[in-house]
């Protein structure tokens, strides 16, 4: 196909992977074991061990699976040895990835259980079309064909230089009658469809957390201000402007928010690796978060400032 530099088969399946009594939910990725480690679909880098070199029963796992080099893990009926560890290789839902040879992954994906195989063989052997005495090998060939497959979930295509990915995708879709997505389209699908709902869900939680945080900060600042009513009355009595008092309360609220942000940032940085799914902390989020915290604290101080402004300086005099 013009414009196709390299094509690689891959399969993906999310399943429970066992190690002794431990059960880990992971996305198993089947990669073409006899290709170069730089090929599409392979883990881009390893933090320990080596890439898969054999065609069967070797695996490279993301560290989030909790597996270690040399561990024996069970995928469906077969045991695999972890020969390499990678990092930050997760599915769109955050499950860590385990890379195994493509043939093994296909078998794991389409393998039926023993009862299903026996039932299928029985039904086939009872079918006179497949079990003809005149053609003795027909039944065996049919059963063999039923128990193997060559399906893959996707083919990753590397486009040759000077070719437009859109043009190549259109040609493949037109002439091979396949569904094709360019990298941009995949990113749109991933962000706009797959994780959009999760993002909205998390955003709603964040909004609720922000409202609750604002209420807590407002309550703390309100309580601190009520404790200082007499001092505020004295300040007003000796000639302090309302704007100065408001500024003091605002500073107190912002200081509270700043301390909270620093504590939160440090906690998040140290706690992120302990989260079951990979947490990506980017500086832009921290900067936006900082300004949101400052905004929340500013809003939270409004009630206390209103109370302080209404304090009568005469309250400072007499009982």
In which element (H, E) is residue 199 found? Answer: helix 196-227
Residue positions counted in the chain: 319
Degrees, nearest 5: CA angle 58-59-63: 150
Q: Crossing angle of helices 242-271/283-310, nearest 10°? A: 150
One of 70, 128, 239, 283 touching another protein (CB under 8 A): 239
Asked if 38 contacts 70 with a C-beta cutoff of 8 angstroms, the reply is no
Which residues, 58 to 77, sit near another protein by CB under 8 A?
none
What lies within 8 Å, CB to CB, of 300 at 6+ separation is 214, 215, 217, 218, 221, 253
Binding to another protein in span 215-234, by CB under 8 A: 228, 230-231, 234
Q: Does residue 309 bind another protein (CB under 8 A)?
A: no
Min dist CB 296 to another protein, Å, is: 22
Smallest gap from residue 233 Cβ to another protein (A): 8
Instruction: From 27-35, 50-58, 189-197, 309-317, give the range in contact with another protein by CB under 8 A.
Output: 309-317
Among 244, 247, 267, 269, binds another protein (CB under 8 A): 244
Our finding on whether 238 is near another protein (CB under 8 A) is yes
Give the span between the Cα atoms of 44 and 294, in whole angstroms.
40
For residue 237, state whether it binds another protein (rule: CB under 8 A): yes
Instruction: Please list the residues that pair with 30 across neighbouring strands.
Output: 11, 100
Residues that bind another protein (CB under 8 A): 228, 230-231, 234-241, 244, 312-314, 316-319
């Amino acid at each position: 196909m013009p414009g196709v530099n390299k094509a690689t088969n891959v399969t993906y399946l999310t399943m429970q992977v066992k190690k002794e009594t431990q059960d880990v939910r992971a996305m198993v990725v089947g990669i073409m074991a006899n290709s170069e480690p730089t090929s599409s679909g392979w883990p881009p880098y390893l933090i320990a061990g080596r890439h898969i070199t054999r065609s069967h029963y070797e695996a490279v796992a993301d560290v989030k699976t909790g597996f270690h080099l040399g561990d024996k893990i069970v995928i469906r009926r077969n045991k695999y040895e972890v020969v390499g560890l990678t990092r930050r290789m997760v599915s769109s839902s955050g499950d860590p990835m385990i890379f195994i040879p493509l043939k093994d992954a296909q078998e794991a994906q389409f393998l039926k259980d023993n009862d299903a195989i026996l039932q299928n063989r029985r039904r086939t052997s009872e079918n006179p079309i497949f079990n003809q005495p005149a053609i003795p090998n027909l039944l065996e060939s049919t059963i063999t064909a039923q128990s193997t497959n060559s399906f893959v979930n996707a083919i990753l295509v590397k486009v040759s230089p000077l070719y437009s990915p859109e043009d190549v995708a259109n040609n493949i879709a037109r002439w091979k009658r396949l569904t094709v997505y360019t990298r941009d389209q995949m990113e749109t699908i991933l962000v706009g469809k797959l994780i959009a709902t999760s993002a909205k869900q998390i955003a709603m939680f964040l909004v609720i957390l922000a409202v609750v945080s604002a209420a807590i900060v407002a309550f703390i600042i309100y309580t601190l201000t009520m404790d200082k009513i007499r001092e505020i009355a004295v300040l007003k009595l000796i000639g302090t402007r309302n704007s100065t008092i408001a500024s003091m309360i605002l500073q107190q609220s912002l200081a509270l928010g700043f301390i909270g942000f620093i504590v939160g940032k440090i906690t998040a940085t140290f706690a992120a690796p302990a989260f079951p799914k990979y947490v990506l902390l980017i500086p832009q989020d921290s900067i936006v978060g900082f300004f949101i915290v400052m905004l929340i604290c500013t809003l939270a101080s409004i009630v206390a400032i209103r109370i302080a402004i209404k304090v009568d300086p005469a309250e400072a005099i007499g009982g």
